[in-house]
Structures are given as C-alpha cells and as structure tokens.
Chains A and B, each alone.
Chain A
C-alpha cells in the first residue's frame, strides 16, 4: 500500500502531468453539470412559486399582445382565484446596446422584492419608476436615484425614467438584466394601450386542468372581434416544469458531448503520461522483478499509485470547479447555459454539486490512468526481467 503511494513521488513530473491532464478534463465537466443542476433547481423553484397557468396569445404561431378584456373573461372562469396581467418585452438600452428584459407587473409580484431590493419598489400607475438588476445597472452606469433619458418611441410621447431600486448581484441569476416597472409604465413604453403579453392565473392545483381547458375554449370572436386570428395558449406549471428542464438538459447534453470529445483527445496523452511507452517505468518494473517482486505485487503498486493520482485529481477537480463557480462566478462556462443576450446575469450563478457526475468523473479518471499504467506494467512485468532491464 505504502510503496504505491511512495511511487507517486518517484515520478513527480510524469505524475504531475497526468494529474494536470485529468484536472483539465474533469473540471469543466464537474462545473458544467453543477451549473446545469443548479439552474434546474432555480428554474423549478421559480416555477413552483409562480402561477398555476400562464396564458399567452398567438397569431400565426407568433406571440402577440392580448387585449386586457381577456383578463376579465379569464377571471370569470369558475375556480380561478386571481388573474395578474404582465407585460414582458425585450429592450436594448444604452449606447452599447445592452440587452434587457422589461417586465411590467404589479409591485407585489416582483420576485424577492421585499427582502433583496436596494432602494424601493416602483409605485403603481404610469410613474416611470424602474427597479433593475445590478448587472444591467452597472453596465449602464446607473444606481438608485439615477435618471434614464427616453429610450423608446411612443404615441403618447417619451418620458424620463427614474431608477428607484436595484437588485444586488447575488439576488438571483434571473434578475441581473431585468427591468421591473408598473404595468402602466410598461404599456406606455411598449406602446400597447390596454394590452398585455401574459396572464398569470392562480387557482387550486386540482382545478388547473379544468381552468386550462376553459381558457383555451374562451369565445375570442365574441370577446374581442371576429376574424382576429388570435389564439390563446395556456401553459400549466407542470408543462412549464417539463419544458424548462428540457432546454437545460439539452445544454447539459451538449456539454457532456464536448466533455467526451475533450476526453477522447486527452486520453492518449494521459495514457502516455501514466505509463505507456515509458522506458524508465519499464526498467523500474524490471528491477522490481529482478529483486524478487511478484507480478501481482508490482501491479498492486501501480494500481495504488494511479488510484492515488486519480483520486487526487478528482478531488482537486471538485475543489477547483467549486472555486470556479463560487469565486469565479463560472466565467467561461456560464454562457453555455445562460445566453448573454437574455435577461440573465451570471453574478449569482446557481449550481449544485451532485454525487453522480463527480463519481462518474472519478471513475473515468481511474479507468484512463489504470489503462495506461496497469497495462504497461502488466506487459512489462510479464516478460523476463532481463528483457525489461536492457
């Protein structure tokens, strides 16, 4: 046992290179999977805390605003407890074209509003007061109390907006590039009077299916006007939960594919560094055989040596991946999961280290180094020592 661990120190350069190769291959994998799982958790949490049914309008398959009159019709459906209108619209702000997401919503529906906002929330009505994520505020050089010049064209004229609150960096990755304002202000900016983009419907969980059905069967021709081509799409919380992870799983799968590619390219290097074709190792093995070591003892020594390297590399990879995500905020890997142009910030990147991928990483690391070293050692130890000591 000890001779195997001692053997790690016998070949510091070779073992250091093996260690470094393994760490370089494992860290992105462990970090990527942790981010995917973290985002999944965060998304599920957000969905669980949200509405039971999300209603959007479509025309020719495209999302379009819906008249506010639909809200009253939905509110009248049996079992519906509350209907909240919301305006969601992408924005481009500042001279450098910062991408953001405008959300017009009642102040009491802004997530984390009470406990995390620096400053205060916007007042109801067309007050032109904004609460935005810190990532966006910093890139626009704005802070609480700052004023924003008009950035939109509206039939009702342009207004200067005031930043009344900022969500700090560590609040949530989803808030970093969002701009929250009242429904009326959002309608003003979007130039959509008496129209919203989404309805958030609350009801008892057991009534969700019936409410969804009723929403989709609303007589739009009577409610709005005939021949508008408008169609309502109601998405339940469960459907959203199924849809959201799929995207994250796609990205995780892409990462795993990338990881396999990197691993495939790295395997020959690790095989070489961990033993194949190493003349020094051959001579050493020959010497051990000549001085009375059995083949199984030599193999055990090589296994322990390489298990120690693989475990050390896997442990280091976990620590480095953690540091990368926690201290380095997942720089470089976060964009794989969080599109930069979307309304997300990487400042509070959620992640969850799960045992399975870590275990898989350790197993793969073990298999590769053992394949390199044990095969070479076994081949060397199985021939006459006089051959290997040449």
Chain B
C-alpha cells in the first residue's frame, strides 16, 4: 500500500515535469514496389503534456494517419522514438507494444465494429483480455455508453447504427478501458454536420480528463485543441 502511494506521489511529480507523450525525430519510411521509397513521416518531433489536446492537421496523404499509428503502437518507426511517460517504445517487443496499447484508447476513422455483436459487446471487447467478467463488462459498458450519449443503444446490433452512432460506439470502446491517452484518426471524417458536431463536443468534454491526440481535417475540431501540429509531406510545418 505504502509502495503504491509512494509510486503515485512519484508519478504525480514526474507527470508535472515530463511530457506525457514525447515524439522525437520520428520518421516512417515505406518501400513500395511501384512508387519506390515513400517517406510518410519525416523527422517529426513534438511533445504532449498530460491532459493536453493536440490536433494534427494537414492535407490528405501528408502522414497524419501514419504518425498516429506510430504513436498508438500500431506501427513501428523507421527512426526516432515515441516516449510515453518516459518509456520509449519504438524498439519495444510485440508484447511490450501490447502493454502500451492497453494504456491507450484508439478511435479510428472507420470504427471497425464487429458485426453481429451488440453495441455493449463491441464496446467491452477490449476488456475481455483484461479479465473482466460478463457482468462487470456490462456495467462498464453502461457507464461509458452513458458518457457518449447512447445509453439506450446498448442492446442494439451494430449493423443497424447510423454513422454518427457507430463513431460514438468506437469512442466508447476507446474510453471503456479508462485510458491515459486517446488517439483518434479523423473521427468526424465521414459524418454529416450534425453527427460531427456531437462527436466534436464529446472530444471537447473528453479533454478535461485525458490526453488527446487527434488527426483531423475538421477546422472546428482542430480549433478546440490546445495545440495544432501542421504536417506537410510528412514534415512538421509548425516549426
């Protein structure tokens, strides 16, 4: 117990001094048979404080999604490092990357829901390997679905949801593990104006509790961010 408190105090002290996410000189190069070498992200560096809301902007193909994937431990860097709470993970093993992913909440442009499962089952799928029993998962789902405003859709099949509702389910799935960092890739990209506004307001509320890094074309969503990182041809245009 004393250890845990000690660690907690130390963690608080650390979080005051060190960035939550530190992206250091990250590059990601792809080799394509037809197009040759593609440098999707080119020596990008930036830091994100705890609780900060960072928006990554830029034209299509500028490397936003690649950068977010690297930060979210879905992909590896070609060079450079990503450091989460002082722990670099670019050279981490597959198992260590899984541990990093468990600390994150991911929201995808297409929420990639599992068909034939209900909303609450989709939302709580990340909790299964964390050892949650069905009842505990249901309770967790109820809380998080309420938070994203679709508490009444818990039993609905995901195939029957609208685009906005699907994106909320994706957001709920990202939040159900109470992550320290939410990484979202263009969450309003395919939504109509009304649905996009609702998702925007959810993200704005979210930033009060967690660190958020979001890639977006949506000027309004980017406008709500504490920091905007502009990317152009894989390079940081913010300076």
Cβ of A292 and Cβ of B114 under 8 Å apart?
A: no
Closest beta carbon of chain B to A33's beta carbon, Å: 37
Q: How far is the CA of A2 from the CA of B130 in the complex (A)?
A: 13
Cβ of A289 and Cβ of B98 under 8 Å apart?
A: yes
When A3-B128, A385-B74, A389-B108 are in contact, do A294 and B98 touch as well, CB less than 8 Å? yes
- Interface size class for chain B? 20 to 34
Cβ of A291 and Cβ of B116 under 8 Å apart?
A: no
What is the total number of residues of chain A having a CB less than 8 Å from a CB of chain B?
26
Q: Which residue of A lies closest to B122 (CB)?
A: A287
Which residues of chain A from 374 to 390 have a CB within 8 Å of any chain B CB? 382, 384-387, 389
Closest beta carbon of chain B to A119's beta carbon, Å: 62
- Name the one of A6, A9, A291, A382 contacting B106, with C-beta atoms under 8 angstroms: A291
Closest beta carbon of chain A to B210's beta carbon, Å: 16
Does A170 touch B at the CB level, under 8 Å? no
Provide the B86-115 mask, 1 if CB < 8 A to any CB of A, else 0.
Answer: 000000001100100110001010001011
Cβ of A10 and Cβ of B117 under 8 Å apart?
A: yes
Closest beta carbon of chain A to B237's beta carbon, Å: 23
Taking chain A's interface residues, is the majority helix, strand, or loop, or is none over half, making it mixed? Answer: helix
Does A151 touch B at the CB level, under 8 Å? no
Q: How far is the CA of A291 from the CA of B129 in the complex (A)?
A: 10
Does A283 touch B at the CB level, under 8 Å? yes
Does B69 touch A at the CB level, under 8 Å? yes
Cβ of B74 and Cβ of A290 under 8 Å apart?
A: yes
Cβ of B126 and Cβ of A292 under 8 Å apart?
A: yes
Cβ of B177 and Cβ of A292 under 8 Å apart?
A: yes
Residues of chain A having any CB pair with chain B under 8 Å: 2-3, 6, 9-12, 283-284, 286-295, 297, 382, 384-387, 389
> Could you give 24 example pairs across A and B, Cβ below 8 Å?
A2-B134, A3-B128, A10-B114, A10-B116, A10-B117, A12-B116, A284-B114, A287-B112, A287-B125, A289-B74, A289-B98, A291-B106, A291-B125, A292-B129, A292-B177, A293-B128, A294-B95, A294-B129, A297-B129, A382-B94, A384-B74, A385-B75, A389-B74, A389-B112
Those 5 A-B pairs whose CB atoms lie nearest each other, nearest first: A292-B102, A291-B126, A386-B74, A386-B75, A386-B69
